[in-house]
Structure 1
Amino acid sequence: MATSSRQRPPGFPRPPAWLLLVAPATIFLALLFVLPGLRILSFSVMQERPSAGESPVWTLDHYEKLFTQPLYRSIMTRTFKIAFMVTIVNLLVSYPIALGIVRIRNSWIRAFLVFAVISPLLTSIIVRTYGWMVILSDRGPVNRFMMWLGVIDEPYRMLYNELGVTIALVQVFVPFMVLSLVSAIQTIDPSLEHAAASLRANRLQTFLKVTLPLSAPGIVTGSVLVFILTLGSFVTPVLLGSARTMMAAVLIRDQILGLFVWSFPAAVTTVLLVATLVLLLIYGRIVRRWSM
């Protein structure tokens, strides 16, 4: 019998099906993230402006400048501090909302709460930030309400400082934290809480001993997501911040568009990228440990 013309030659085994499925996404990610990331890394260790016709000079001066000069070190410290504060406040605000969404039995009320949480995502972040500029201004509703209560005698400055940036970023990233927490709280078996109540545990004890530990995966997921997103925030720090509250993304913009340099902002970008990858690796290890 003649050999079929479609028979694969020896030495060329058919690739597995999963490889054919993964290959397009892998190639896309490589072109979109890996190659630009390597390019940024190469810029970060390159002399700022090599002479024409000369090969680039490799140096770590940009990293030394970033971590030794007080101005840039304070900007990086402030970026991570604001990211930490936004994450903590976001968690404290979002957890009761997520718990209420899961525990409310009325489907209409639950749907309304979910829509109220995710509806800000349908609005431009620029519009939301301008809204916060009105709310937090000296003559805005927040200052007027506090003066009406007698808490303050004159308007409290909440714009162009870390407080205003933090408040706005908390609101911007609440949907991501709430959705992460809802997905985790929904997986908790209600019988576990009933069992704790049958053992004479009050609501606070049940929450601290049962609900909170079992919702830890959602807490970690939401916290990592919010922290990473805050590290790269740009629009809100630009509109609500100032030169004294500059964050890393604003520094990168000013260096590239203002000073027309590439290597130093590439070093700043690399530091943020490494911090993001470290957080993702820690998150992956925690998730694997929980899944065992």
Structure 2
Amino acid sequence: MSTTVLGLVRASHPEPAAAVTAVAGLLAHGVGHRPAGVAAVALTVLASQLAVGWSNDHLDADRDAAVGRTDKPVATGAVSRRAVGLAARLAALATVLLAAAATNPAATLCVAVGLASALLYNWPLKSTPVSVLPYAVSFGALPAFVVLALPGAPTPPGWLLAAAALLGAGAHFANVLPDLADDARTGVRGLPHRLGAVGSRTAAAGLLLAATVTLVVGPPGPPSWAGLSALTAAAVAPPLTWYAERRGDAARVRGTAVFRAVMLVALIDVVLLVASGRVV
């Protein structure tokens, strides 16, 4: 594999891209998509995640270089800024084309709104007090797209959209934690930066717990034991992660552990939700 391809993979933010794509695929299976439908949903979501990740590294190239981000391939010269910018544009176009070819106008509009919201976070909303809003909108649009992509485009349940929006908001606070110091040096002042590390950790934990509660009590019928187990995991995982991360050596590594905990609980939530058959 060439250096450029490896650089593009690293610049795509592969961990969150893989996690969000897996969540979308599992959810597509849970709401009743056939294998071809699951594949179409997963490919569309993956393309949107690549577009967002590449756009982020393209726009932040100068900032990343200024603070010496050795984990960023554009900043280290492993891949050119132009290549990442072109890849982001192609992935954004592919997202809409895939959705239009494989789903319906309502689902296509929904995924386009989610993508536009995420790109608006990259610029200009990242440095504003409403930086959490694009995360809530884009994550909320994800299950809406998955459900609307079904034949007949059924109405997505409100509790599912609310849970996804809460999860997205929580992911925003967790995702920014590793970069608070670097962001401060380069003038980024989103909502997590204004709340600080303690406030952001608290917000991430509270929003994650609220998302899990919504997933457990939102569907018709009594909560399952599996759902209650997920609720326990959402309540316990963040404090345990914060305790464990104190033993780390680097602030970025410690903060990344919190984000990974959020993604892990999100995957557990979706698996249990799908297994319970209570999605739609």
Greater CA radius of gyration, 1 or 2?
A: 1
- Larger relative contact order, structure 1 or 2 (CA cutoff 8 Å, min sep 6): 1
Normalising by structure 2, we get a TM-score of 0.31
TM-score, structure 1 as length reference: 0.30
Which has a greater percent of helix?
Answer: 2
